[in-house]
C-alpha cells in the first residue's frame, strides 16, 4: 500500500487527493489542525482517513504533499523533519513559488533517506477550499517539478510516476527560472487584475453605471481578481524581487500607451495591437493555461453530417448550457475536434462525464 498524506486539503490539496483517491494500492490521508475540517474531508469522501495529529498522519507516509499557503511551507518542512518519517518518504509541495522553498529544503538537513522535491501544478482557479476541488483540475495542464542536483533520480521517478494520476504534463524547471517566468505570466496578471478592479471600483463610488455596464471584456480579464487574498499575499511577498522588476517593465508598457495617446499616434496604437495579436495567437490552443477564463472541453468527433447538432442536442436535453461551440480542426482524413465552452464549471464537468461515454473527450 502506498500512503499519501496531504497537509492543507484545500482547492489544490483536495484536487490532488481526488486524483489519488480509489486508485489501486493508494491510500490518501488528510491533515488539518481543525477537527471540523477533518470531518468535512471525510464527509465529502476526498480522503480515506483524516486526522488532526501530524505525527499520526505521517507515520507510514510514502509521499507527503504540502497544500498550505506559501508563507507556511517552510515551517511545515521544519516541523515534519522533527517527526519520525519512513525512510524513502518524498516530501513535495504545490506552492506557486519555488525558489525559497527549494533553497530551504536544500539547506535543512532532512532525515536520512527522506527527499524534498518542489512542485507546482500550474492550474487552478479563483475559488478556494476543498469545496472547489475537482479531480479534473490538472488534466492537460503543466505540473512543474524543481529537483536539484542533489535529488536522487529514483525519488524523482517515483514522484513523476505518482503524478501521472493527475493527467498533467510533468516538466522539470530550475526553481529560480520558475519564479521569474511564473511571476510574469501569473503573478503580474493577478496584480494588474486587482489594480484594474480597484481603479474602476473607485470611479463606481461616484456613478454606479460603471458596475452596471462592466461586461464581457472587463469580467474576462478581471476574473482572477477574485482570488483568495491570503494565498496571494503570500505568493506576492515571496516573489517580491521578481515582481518589483516586472512592475517597472509594466510601467514602461503603460508609458508607451500614454505617449501614443498624447501624440495621437494611431499607427503606433495599431502596431501595439498587431504585436499583441501575433504573440497571443501563437499561444498553445489545446493546453490548459494558467489563466483560463472559460471552462472548455475538446471532443474528437467523427467527420459525419449532423454530429455537431447531435452533441448540442444531447447537452441541451440534460440542461447543460453551452456558451460557445467551435470546430477547430476538420479535414477528411482526421476526425474533427469540437471545442465546447461553458460559463459554469459544473456544466463543463457534467458535459465531460456525459460525452466521454460516446467520444474521446479532453480537457
Ligand X SMILES: O=C(O)C(=O)Cc1ccc(O)cc1
Ligand Y SMILES: NC(=O)C1=CN([C@@H]2O[C@H](COP(=O)(O)OP(=O)(O)OC[C@H]3O[C@@H](n4cnc5c(N)ncnc54)[C@H](O)[C@@H]3O)[C@@H](O)[C@H]2O)C=CC1
Determine the size of the site formed for ligand Y (CB under 6 A).
25
Residue 221 interacts with ligand X (CB under 6 A)?
no
The residues in 262-291 that bind ligand Y, with binding defined as CB under 6 A, are none
The C-alpha atoms of residue 25 and residue 43 are separated, in whole angstroms, by 22
How far is the C-alpha of 303 from the C-alpha of 163, rounded, in Å? 34
Distance (Å, whole) CA 301 – CA 334: 9
* Contacting residue, 118, 124, 147, 183, with ligand Y by CB under 6 A: 124
122, 137, 145, 361: which one binds ligand X (CB under 6 A): 122
**Helix boundaries (H) for the chain:** 11-20, 35-43, 54-58, 73-81, 99-107, 153-162, 175-182, 188-204, 209-213, 216-222, 229-238, 240-262, 266-281, 307-317, 345-355
Which C-beta is closer to ligand X: that of 214 or that of 290? Answer: 290
Q: What is the 3-state secondary structure (H, E, C) of 190-249?
A: HHHHHHHHHHHHHHHCCCCHHHHHCCHHHHHHHHHHHCCHHHHHHHHHHCHHHHHHHHHH
- CA distance linking residue 341 with residue 324, whole number of Å: 5
In whole angstroms, the minimum distance from the beta carbon of 132 to ligand X comes to 11
Among ligand X, ligand Y, none, the one that 28 touches (CB under a kind-dependent 5 to 8 A) is none
Residue pair 121/146 in contact by the 8 Å Cβ criterion: no
Contact criterion met (CB below 8 Å) for 117 and 159: yes
Task: List residues bridging with 5 in a β-sheet.
Answer: 29, 64
- The yes or no reply on residue 292 touching ligand X (CB under 6 A) is yes
- 8 Å CB contact between 340 and 351: yes
Q: Cell triple for residue 233?
A: 499575499
Residue 94 within binding range of ligand Y, rule CB under 6 A: yes
Residue 186 binding ligand X, by CB under 6 A: yes
Considering the rule CB under 6 A, would residue 60 count as an interface residue with ligand X? no
For ligand Y, which residue of 46, 47, 61, 68 counts as binding (CB under 6 A)? 68
Q: Which region, judged by CB under 6 A, interacts with ligand Y, from 67-75, 202-210, 263-271, 304-312?
A: 67-75
Given the rule CB under 6 A, which of 132-140, 276-284, 285-293, 297-305 is the region that contacts ligand X? 285-293
Nearer to ligand Y, 47 or 315 (CB): 47
Q: How far is the CB of 74 from ligand X (least distance, A)?
A: 18
Q: Is 181 in the site for ligand X (CB under 6 A)?
A: no
Answer for which of 3, 4, 5, 12 binds ligand Y (CB under 6 A) is: 12
List 96, 100, 128, 238, residue binding ligand X (CB under 6 A): 96
Q: Residue from 56, 228, 300, 345 that binds ligand Y (CB under 6 A)?
A: 228
Closest CA to 284 of 266, 273, 298: 298
For residue 9, the minimal CB distance to ligand Y (Å) is 5
What are the grid coordinates assigned to 129, written together?
A: 477550499
Sole binder of ligand X in the list 224, 297, 337, 355 (CB under 6 A)? 224
- Strands of the sheet containing 324-331, edge to edge, are 324-331, 334-342, 295-301, 361-362
Kindly state whether residue 124 participates in binding ligand X, applying the rule CB under 6 A.
Answer: yes
From the list ligand Y, ligand X, none, pick the one residue 329 interacts with, judged by a Cβ distance below 5 to 8 Å according to partner type: none
Residue with grid cell 474576462, as numbered in its chain:
220
Q: Going residue by residue from 239 to 278, which x/- string records binding to ligand X, judged by CB under 6 A?
A: ----------------------------------------
> Where on the chain is the footprint of ligand Y (CB under 6 A)?
8-13, 32-33, 67-70, 72, 94-96, 120-121, 124-125, 128-129, 228, 231, 235
> Where on the chain is the footprint of ligand X (CB under 6 A)?
96, 122-126, 186, 224, 290-292
Amino acid at each position: 500500500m502506498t500512503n499519501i498524506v496531504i497537509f492543507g486539503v484545500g482547492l489544490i490539496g483536495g484536487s490532488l487527493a481526488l486524483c489519488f483517491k480509489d486508485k489501486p494500492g493508494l491510500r490518501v490521508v488528510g491533515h488539518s489542525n481543525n477537527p471540523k475540517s477533518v470531518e468535512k474531508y471525510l464527509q465529502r469522501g476526498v480522503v480515506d482517513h483524516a486526522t488532526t495529529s501530524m505525527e499520526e498522519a505521517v507515520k507510514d507516509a510514502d509521499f507527503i504533499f504540502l497544500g498550505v499557503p506559501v508563507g507556511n511551507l517552510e515551517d511545515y518542512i521544519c516541523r515534519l523533519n522533527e517527526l519520525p518519517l519512513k525512510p524513502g518518504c518524498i516530501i513535495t509541495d504545490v506552492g506557486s513559488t519555488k525558489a525559497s522553498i527549494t533553497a530551504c529544503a536544500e539547506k535543512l538537513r532532512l532525515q536520512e533517506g527522506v527527499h524534498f522535491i518542489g512542485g507546482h501544478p500550474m492550474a487552478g482557479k479563483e475559488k478556494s477550499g476543498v469545496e472547489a476541488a475537482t479531480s479534473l483540475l490538472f488534466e492537460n495542464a503543466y505540473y512543474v517539478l524543481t529537483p536539484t542536483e542533489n535529488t536522487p533520480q529514483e525519488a524523482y521517478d517515483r514522484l513523476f510516476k505518482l503524478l501521472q494520476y493527475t493527467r498533467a504534463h510533468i516538466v522539470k524547471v530550475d526553481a529560480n527560472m520558475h519564479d521569474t517566468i511564473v511571476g510574469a505570466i501569473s503573478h503580474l496578471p493577478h496584480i494588474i487584475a486587482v489594480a484594474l478592479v480597484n481603479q474602476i471600483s473607485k470611479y463606481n463610488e461616484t456613478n454606479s453605471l460603471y458596475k452596471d455596464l462592466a461586461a464581457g471584456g472587463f469580467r474576462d480579464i478581471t476574473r482572477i481578481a477574485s482570488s483568495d487574498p491570503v494565498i496571494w499575499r503570500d505568493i506576492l511577498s515571496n516573489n517580491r524581487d521578481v515582481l518589483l522588476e516586472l512592475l517597472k517593465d509594466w510601467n514602461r508598457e503603460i508609458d508607451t500607451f500614454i505617449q501614443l495617446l498624447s501624440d495621437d499616434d494611431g499607427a503606433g496604437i495599431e502596431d501595439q495591437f498587431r504585436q499583441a495579436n501575433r504573440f497571443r495567437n501563437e499561444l498553445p490552443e489545446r493546453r490548459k493555461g494558467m489563466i483560463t477564463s472559460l471552462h472548455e472541453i475538446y471532443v474528437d468527433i467523427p467527420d459525419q453530417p449532423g454530429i455537431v447538432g447531435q452533441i448540442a442536442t444531447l447537452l441541451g436535453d440534460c440542461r447543460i448550457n453551452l456558451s460557445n461551440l467551435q470546430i477547430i480542426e476538420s479535414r477528411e482524413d482526421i476526425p474533427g475536434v469540437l471545442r465546447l465552452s461553458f460559463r459554469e464549471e459544473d456544466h463543463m464537468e457534467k458535459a465531460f462525464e456525459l460525452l466521454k461515454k460516446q467520444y474521446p473527450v479532453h480537457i
